[in-house]
Amino acid sequence: MSRPSRLTMLATLGMLAAAPAGAGAQSVPDAASAGAYRQQFLSDLDSIQVKFLALAEAIPADKYSWRPAAGVRSVGEVFKHVAGEYYTYTPASFGAPRSPLIPRTREGFAAFEAASSKDEALKQLREGFAFAKQSIGALDPASLAGTKKIFGGDHTIIETASGAAADLHEHLGQLIAYARMIGVVPPWSK
């Protein structure tokens, strides 16, 4: 996970931890509310995936290596980063196992992102999304209730999954900015 992504997640968790005791107690889900939250999350995941795919299709293949500055991810690398999060961070935010496709090392994630052609990015966006949906959907709602050890601490799925959702939306905004900079209008904005 990149430094900005970790900061977003930590900020989200920090805000939740700083909430008044009564507010925190209300955010610990029982099985029914955890199941409802999961459905809302998966619905949001569906809608953001439509936008990621539409944007990935709209950007020409020869622009996938474009980057706004040295040292930052290219268009293709950002799409692959999102796919990587579908395989790892997104299911883990619900306590589901991450995919073994991407090694648990910085180098493993970087190698996954480096293969960033348009065809590869589209393939992994689709397959990573399917992995995340299946992994999260297969969880027993009772296992989502209360708090559990996720990301090294006791958290609710509302805390951790909200961080994952915020991070994915941040990357969508990043890709919209990239697209505009290379003259591509997001298809849903036309």
Contacts of 159 (CB under 8 A, 6+ apart): 12, 13, 16, 27
Does the pLDDT of residue 108 top 60, yes or no? yes
Does the pLDDT of residue 149 top 60, yes or no? yes
Q: pLDDT band at 151, cuts 50/70/90?
A: confident
Q: Report the pLDDT averaged over residues 128-155.
A: 92
Instruction: Classify domain 3-18+30-183 at the CATH topology level.
Output: Four Helix Bundle (Hemerythrin (Met), subunit A) (1.20.120)
Residue ranges of the domains in the chain? 3-18+30-183
Question: pTM, whole model, 2 decimals?
Answer: 0.84
54-66: pLDDT as tens digits: 999 999 999 999 9
Closest CA to 16 of 114, 157, 113: 157
